[in-house]
Structure 1
């Protein structure tokens, strides 16, 4: 097993993702532009709600998600432990996944997070191999 979460139901757009962001929660609004950046990675990006959170996929292979908690929001990367992170913004100790915490009063470096998004997208393409 390659550890990739495959979601054949992922599509673009997924109305359930739009409903998640329409909730009115300020922390959800905080991560919405970052989810837009996930969508903008390429024409093969699909989305769905997985485990209650918007999840971005390369085709049907999940590579990142966003979520909102009580005190912060987060952007998570399913293969975050394998990603190049020169600024050290990734957190977590899981075998594969890592996340970046976002707070309205303390945001990560925008350029670093933008770079990480592209690295995660490209990493998933490399992991999946030629189509």
Structure 2
């Protein structure tokens, strides 16, 4: 028997050659959140990569990224970690400061990826 999702949205949807992912936050397997923006960024991008991998895609297939940071002061450290996970050509990106995330989470990231021809 399939269990209904805890929240009313899909984690990933495929449509017309695109993969749309819901926002990903830095929750570890045990529900904890690592300290610091670099560790949280790495975990979020690792989780996004795993979700994409389940449908035969990866971070190299990402064409668009939307980032919500809790603190604008994290921008430089976020960028440094983010750059380690993407190759050229880089996805287009929007980054905003948003204060309403889960307690302890410093960011939320959502992506759109293009399925390969």
Same topology, TM > 0.5? no
Q: Which has the higher contact order (CA 8 A, sep 6+)?
A: 2
Please give the TM-score of this superposition, normalised by the length of structure 1. Answer: 0.25
Higher helix share: 1
